[in-house]
Amino acid sequence: MEKQSNSSYKVGSFDGGVSLLAKRRLWFVAAATLLYAGLLLFTRGLRFAPKLDELHFWPTSLLFSHRWAPTLANLRSYNELNTPLPFLMFGWVEHCFHQGIAAGRALNVLLSFLIVLEVGMPRDSGTRSSVIAASTSHALRKPPADTRPGKA
């Protein structure tokens, strides 16, 4: 006869005391890791030419890559509609690693991976809904419109 402790782990079970919840979490992390690893392989390590918004965001980020704290002049003249935080973050990453736009993309991928883990990690209840939420967050977003001349 198996005893149940107050935690979610089974005492004296054949599988070493690993709960079903722990197994689900392990499988979820493994699946998310494989998905993101596939993404990195597919994009050749995020090293491709700048596209869409990156064409004007990256030069703005480079304005903030020369020093840790931006100057007041930089903050007043960076000429973007977004707040300066993403440009500061990309600038800091470039300042530290000097890997170009791929380092900024890597930061975005890392933050996206952590958010997917947080949202989709199986919990004691609502496992199905958390996995659905994590898997559809990217699938439901509208793809950007093609703004090249001559494209409808």
The model carries a pTM of: 0.66
Residue 10: inside a domain: no
| pLDDT > 90? residue 38 | yes
| pLDDT > 50? residue 17 | yes
Residue 3: inside a domain: no
What's the CA angle centered on 36, arms 33 and 42, to 5 degrees? 140
What is the domain range of residue 34? 19-138
Looking at the structure of the chain, the number of domains it has is 1
pLDDT tens digits along 141-150: 555 666 656 6
What's the rounded mean pLDDT across residues 84-104? 90
Residue 5: inside a domain: no
Residue 146: inside a domain: no
